[in-house]
Amino acid sequence: MTSEVATLVLRNNYLQSLAISLTERKGTANGLELGRFMSVLESAGQLNRKVETLPDEQTLAERYAAGKPLTRPEIGVLVSYAKIVLFDALAASDLPDDPYFTATLSNYFPVKMQKSNAGDISGHRLKREIIATVLANEAINRGGPSFTVAMMDATAASAPEVVRAAIVARDGFDLNRLWTETDTLDGRVSGEIQNRIYEEISHSFIVLTRLLLKTGMTKADMAEVISRLQAALKKLKPALAEQSAGDADARQAEYVLAGVPEKLAAEIANLQSFALVPEIMQIAERTGEPLVRAAENYFAVSQTFRIARLLAAGGRILTSDHYENLALARSIDQIASARRDIVISALSDHGKEKLPVQAWHAQDRIRINRIVEELSSLSDSGDPNLARITVAAGILTDLARDRGR
């Protein structure tokens, strides 16, 4: 058992180093998120920058303006603080008592102990603290030091709610398997390629966590939600792969050329499309339509209003402070919500039609065509900025509200 305990300890060290590397990899792009994280902890009396020799807000801004982001040791300090603060929040909540984490507790101990000492493990006086420790490590190792604070800012969720959604995202979309398969690439591909893959999985982990919080799906029983997500993903994978073909094919080919196994390369290349699953599920539930039909109409609305271009434009916008970040995130949320509402309206009003979205469009063709032109102009002409994406979000929201009445 000694070697197994050593392996478990080294494993956490591996993941913590990876979290530092992925944060460092962002370079000066990590300035706002890490600055916000430090400010939140400092305001709550949970961090003293002077004691930890971390830069104050002015010094941080000057360093990033000069192209000098936080160093690995500084990021390491923030990772440690993130875990400590998150542990305290989880231990004070009822999340560790959720039956779903029975296996989390058991797996903390060496395999040889899990059966023979099952009773002692389940009754361990520190079981809540053990579960809270494992969950805090998992969330921060996979999402980065600012993960919890960023999710709380974006969704108004509590720290335990964020972690609950994160575990649902991890297990519902089988991300652990992808991380494990990426681990096996050690020494087989370049560190740059391997970290790019880790970065893609972590990005999906963050996006899916946020979407699950926004849609409210994680309020139900965890095991039930995870099972539903797994079933929906299995059913929607062919349609998602078809929609992401082209860009995904090019990325897959690049990974294969770099030495990544073809199956893993294909899964990573299509990973971004997983973010559509929660919304499509919500549409199917609201309208009573099968998942595949909900997906077809979701894609039809996306194509009509060129939503992908709008979201891509939003992704290229550089914000200068925390509140611009929130405004951008809110606008992107509004675009996604409007798309979902338009699909629901089309299916509810024209569900008997072979092409519900086209029928919905035909009812107000002149106005919708004008809106499509406006949105195209906003996304395609000139450099994307916060004002343009905010206007686009407002136009789509107004349309969805008017047609949903």
CB-based burial of residue 44 (10 Å sphere; 0-12 exposed, 13-18 middle, 19+ buried)? Answer: exposed
Phi, psi of 187 (to 5 degrees): 80, -5
CB-based burial of residue 360 (10 Å sphere; 0-12 exposed, 13-18 middle, 19+ buried)? Answer: buried
**pLDDT at res. 403:** 66
34-75: per-residue pLDDT in tens? 999 999 999 999 999 999 999 999 999 999 999 999 999 999
Extract the tokens encoding 203: 């990005």
Per-residue confidence in pLDDT tens, the chain, 405 aa: 667 667 777 888 889 999 999 999 999 999 999 999 999 999 999 999 999 999 999 999 999 999 999 999 999 999 999 999 999 999 999 999 999 999 999 988 877 787 778 787 887 889 999 999 999 999 999 999 999 999 999 999 999 999 999 999 999 999 999 999 999 999 999 999 999 999 999 999 999 999 999 989 998 899 999 999 999 999 999 989 888 767 888 899 999 999 999 999 999 999 989 999 999 999 999 999 999 999 999 999 999 999 988 988 888 888 888 899 999 999 999 999 999 999 999 999 999 999 999 999 999 999 999 999 999 988 887 788 999 999 999 999 999 988 655
User: Measuring CA to CA, how many Å separate 76 from each of 44, 54, 144, 294?
Assistant: 20, 11, 10, 44
**pLDDT at res. 34:** 97
**pLDDT at res. 355:** 94
252-283: per-residue pLDDT in tens? 999 999 999 999 999 999 998 999 999 999 99
Q: What predicted TM-score, i.e. pTM, was given to this entire model? A: 0.92
Are the CB atoms for 343 and 357 separated by under 8 Å?
yes
**pLDDT at res. 303:** 93
In 26-101, where does DSSP find H-type helix?
31-43, 57-65, 72-91
Are the CB atoms for 393 and 332 separated by under 8 Å?
yes
- Sketch the domain layout of the chain as residue ranges: 1-145, 151-273, 288-405
**pLDDT at res. 6:** 73
